């Protein structure tokens, strides 16, 4: 690897040269003998280091090609050492590594170095950066890029310095192992550094970096280089202990912080959060997501709406965080990276731990996109924080984890408390829809289906009680639905298509046409009346079912900020509603059976009491009219039980509606109990 091997051909050549030298000595060709002897001596003692460095076939063993047999690694203490600039490094940060000799000035020709996890499975971690002087060649081991390094020339070198970047998705201790070749038959394998602790970025930033201690030069057998050397007396530095989240340090004092849910910065409990620090013409943006996010992004907008915004996106890809700049369009909504010069921002720091994305980005004060200037010095912009769990090709996906714009545009250089935009219209939309479809619709359907033969003879505004209540409740549903639909359109100003919006749209259409259809209701004896009844029943029930499904979908919307356990309250309402319908249906069947029995008895009585020679048709019709008139003047059987059950249903229904509306209006409800 580091020192060229004398192949069998080389040795044969030297033997031939020696034989020829003896023959020439006999012939006393001394001048030629001297030249050949000098050539032989040069060939025997020169160190021929591979000019292109170590090949990737030795990534596991770190052994030179000629190692083995009679040429073994040294088992003495290595005069070379591997030193690190610190014993603690944050995720995604850079560490300087020095390979040096002792005493000073001791040179070597070849080397190879890599960092491995101190614990099983001992994988290679991190990446090396190219050297400025061109003395380092990077290697791709274990199908990873630039995770090992070797020499790029065979010249003698007293020291080699390398920059190593820690991984963004790793926490723990690493050890740097190096193989150093001083000559062809003198090399040391697996020279270890002291362990380096990779910690969370905020911990490393908050804690002072300890001064690196002297390297441990314990013997290290070449056969164990796959498992990094572990000094038995090493104790992890106290700097890596868990500490308070430092992201929020300086918020409202030295930097602007904003995240969602609204008001989370004050409680340090943001799902996703951003921070902006301005120093002169240096604009630094920090972003952090919630767990299991596919991206976190910050947009700068004129109007607090998605569209025509400059966005900064931090996206984990292939084990590292990538930075993208995009320009969003409103119709149709998209985030296009190709329209924005990607060199307008650069990534300063990044990490990915337990699914939480962190990145620190520096932006140019002026970015021009499609003729539009984003002037951070003089402009005022809304901050839009968003994160989602999916990606599209060449763009981020929908912000299903959350999104929140700031309430007003701000100059980023002016430090202030940044609050979110008002959610009043969203809250009113949700409250009106719950009142309409959980409350008034459910009760209106109960009246129409089960109370046509209750409160017989009592009317309101010239209409039977059941119809008056049914019409009043359904008109309320229609009014609340239309108002709620207008409110959400005013808030969004554009169509947003997902499960909630699609089912909600169908519900609104069915709700809108129901009263229009009722205006054209055929008369009671019209042959089209049965078709109207079935159509009216189907439209109403379908709208009710879809509305409840849409409310279930709304629980998952990040803008609603509803707790996941609200689903169980909705499930409880559905079970209660179905159970009450089942009980009412049983009463209805019992009414039909009892009325059928009464009608049968009356018909039998008419047969017995009618004169045999009389006009049976005339008497039968007269009797039936009298019987029906009497039935209309009295409630159907079990009317008291139905009224009692209606009272219980109404009280429980009101409780469900009140609880659900409170969850919507006070969202996120969890903040009230913190």
Res 60: pLDDT: 83
Q: What is the pLDDT of residues 282-292, one digit of tens each?
A: 899 999 998 88
Omega prior to 589 cis, within 30 of 0? no
Which tokens go with 434?
């719950």
- What CA–CA distance (Å, rounded) separates 171 from 90? 9
- What CA–CA distance (Å, rounded) separates 584 from 629? 25
Alpha helices, H only, 147-240: 201-206
Q: Which helix (H) or strand (E) segment is 482 a member of?
A: helix 465-492
| For the chain, domain boundaries | 56-202, 247-420, 424-596+636-666
Res 525: pLDDT: 85
Three-state DSSP class for 189? Answer: strand
Please say if the pLDDT value at position 108 is more than 60: yes
Res 485: pLDDT: 94
Res 657: pLDDT: 97
Q: What is the pLDDT of residues 40-89, one digit of tens each?
A: 343 333 333 466 677 877 888 887 755 555 577 877 678 888 999 888 89
Other CB atoms closer than 10 Å to residue 239's CB: what's the count? 18
Domain 424-596+636-666 maps to which CATH number in 1.20.120, 1.10.3470, 2.60.120, 1.10.10? 1.20.120
Q: Kindly report which listed range (247-261, 514-528, 642-656) carries the lowest average pLDDT score.
A: 514-528
pTM of the model: 0.50
Q: Kindly report which listed range (402-411, 620-629, 651-660) carries the lowest average pLDDT score.
A: 620-629
Which tokens go with 9?
């051909």
Q: Which is it for strands 196-199 and 88-90: parallel, antiparallel or unpaired?
A: parallel
pLDDT grade for 620, boundaries at 50, 70 and 90: very low
Res 433: pLDDT: 97
- Judge contact between 311 and 335, C-beta under 8 A: yes
Res 51: pLDDT: 61
For domain 56-202, give the CATH number: 2.60.40.4060
Res 104: pLDDT: 67
Among candidates 520, 351, 507, which has minimal Cα distance to 433? Answer: 507
- Judge contact between 231 and 218, C-beta under 8 A: yes
Res 25: pLDDT: 37
Please say if the pLDDT value at position 633 is more than 70: no
CA distances from 392 to 294, 340, 343, 399, 558 (A): 10, 17, 22, 12, 19
- Judge contact between 559 and 398, C-beta under 8 A: no
Residue with tokens 């140019």: 364
Q: Kindly report which listed range (143-157, 226-240, 297-311, 452-466) carries the lowest average pLDDT score.
A: 226-240
Mean pLDDT over each residue of the chain, to the nearest integer = 78
Res 597: pLDDT: 57
Q: What is the pLDDT of residues 417-433, one digit of tens each?
A: 888 777 889 999 999 99
For domain 247-420, give the CATH number: 2.60.40.1210
Q: What is the pLDDT of residues 388-417, one digit of tens each?
A: 988 888 888 888 888 889 988 999 999 998
Q: What is the mean pLDDT of residues 329-338?
A: 64
Burial 496-531 (b: 16+ CB within 10 A, else e): eeeebbebbebbbebbeebeeeeeeeeeeeeeeeee
Q: Which helix (H) or strand (E) segment is 222 a member of?
A: none
**How big is the CA angle at 172 (ends 167 and 177), to the nearest 5 degrees?**
75
Q: Kindly report which listed range (297-301, 329-333, 459-463) carries the lowest average pLDDT score.
A: 329-333
Q: Same fold for the domain at 56-202 and the one at 247-420?
A: yes
Which tokens go with 647?
């009272």
- Judge contact between 511 and 477, C-beta under 8 A: yes
Other CB atoms closer than 10 Å to residue 50's CB: what's the count? 21
């Amino acid at each position: 690897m580091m020192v060229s091997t004398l192949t069998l051909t080389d040795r044969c050549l030297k033997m031939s040269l020696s034989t020829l030298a003896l023959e020439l000595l006999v012939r006393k060709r001394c001048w030629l003998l001297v030249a050949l002897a000098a050539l032989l001596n040069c060939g025997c003692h020169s160190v021929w280091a591979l000019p292109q460095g170590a090949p990737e076939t030795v990534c596991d063993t770190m052994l030179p090609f000629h190692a083995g047999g009679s040429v073994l690694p040294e088992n003495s203490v290595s005069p070379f050492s591997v030193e690190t600039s610190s014993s603690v490094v944050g995720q995604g940060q850079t560490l300087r590594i020095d390979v040096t000799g002792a005493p000073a000035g001791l040179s070597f020709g070849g080397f190879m170095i890599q960092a491995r996890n101190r614990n099983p499975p001992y994988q290679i971690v991190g990446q090396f950066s190219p050297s400025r002087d061109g003395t380092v060649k990077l290697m791709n081991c274990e199908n990873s890029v630039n995770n090992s390094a070797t020499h790029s020339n065979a010249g003698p070198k007293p020291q080699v310095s390398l920059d190593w970047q820690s991984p963004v998705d790793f926490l723990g201790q690493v050890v740097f192992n190096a193989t150093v070749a001083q000559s062809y038959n003198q090399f040391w394998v697996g020279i270890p550094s002291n362990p380096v602790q990779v910690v969370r970025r905020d911990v490393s930033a908050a804690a002072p970096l300890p001064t690196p201690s002297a390297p441990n030069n314990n013997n290290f057998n070449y056969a164990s280089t796959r498992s990094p050397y572990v000094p038995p007396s090493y104790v992890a530095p106290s700097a890596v202990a868990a500490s308070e989240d430092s992201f929020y340090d300086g918020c409202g004092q030295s930097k602007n912080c904003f995240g969602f849910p609204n008001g989370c910065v004050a409680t340090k409990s943001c799902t996703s959060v951003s921070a902006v620090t301005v120093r002169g013409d240096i604009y630094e943006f920090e972003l952090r997501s919630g767990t299991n996010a596919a991206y976190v992004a910050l947009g700068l907008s004129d109007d607090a709406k998605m569209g025509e915004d400059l966005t900064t996106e931090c996206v984990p890809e292939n084990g590292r965080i990538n930075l993208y700049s995009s320009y969003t369009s409103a119709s149709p909504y998209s985030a296009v990276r190709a329209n924005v010069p990607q060199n307008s921002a650069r990534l300063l720091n990044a990490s990915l731990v337990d699914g939480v994305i962190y990145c620190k980005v520096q932006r140019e004060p002026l970015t021009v996109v499609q003729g539009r200037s984003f002037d951070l010095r003089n402009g005022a912009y809304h901050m839009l924080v968003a994160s989602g769990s999916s990606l599209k090709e060449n763009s981020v996906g929908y912000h299903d984890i959350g999104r929140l714009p700031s309430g007003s545009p701000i100059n980023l250089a002016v430090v202030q408390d940044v609050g979110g935009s008002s959610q009043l219209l969203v809250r009113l939309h949700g409250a009106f829809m719950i009142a309409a479809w959980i409350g008034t619709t459910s009760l209106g359907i109960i009246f129409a289906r089960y109370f046509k033969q209750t409160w017989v003879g009592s009317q309101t505004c010239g209409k039977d009680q059941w119809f008056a209540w049914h019409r009043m409740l359904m008109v309320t549903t229609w009014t609340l639905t239309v108002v709620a639909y207008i409110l959400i359109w005013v808030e969004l100003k554009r169509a947003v298509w997902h499960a909630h919006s699609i089912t909600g749209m169908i519900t609104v259409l069915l709700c809108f046409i129901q009263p229009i259809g009722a205006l054209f209701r055929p008369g009671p004896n019209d042959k089209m009346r049965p078709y109207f009844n079935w159509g009216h029943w189907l439209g109403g029930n379908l709208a009710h079912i879809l509305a409840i499904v849409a409310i279930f979908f709304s629980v998952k919307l990040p803008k609603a900020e509803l707790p996941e356990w609200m689903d169980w309250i909705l499930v409880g309402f559905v079970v209660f509603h179905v159970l009450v319908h089942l009980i009412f249906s049983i009463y209805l069947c019992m009414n039909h059976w009892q009325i059928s029995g009464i009608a049968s008895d009356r018909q039998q009585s008419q047969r017995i009491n009618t004169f045999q020679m009389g006009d049976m048709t005339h008497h039968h019709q007269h009797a039936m009219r009298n019987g029906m008139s009497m039935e209309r003047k009295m409630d159907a059987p079990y009317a008291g039980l139905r009224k009692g059950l209606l009272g219980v249903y109404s009280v429980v229904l009101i409780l469900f509606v009140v609880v659900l509306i409170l969850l919507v209006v006070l969202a996120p409800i969890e903040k009230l109990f913190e």
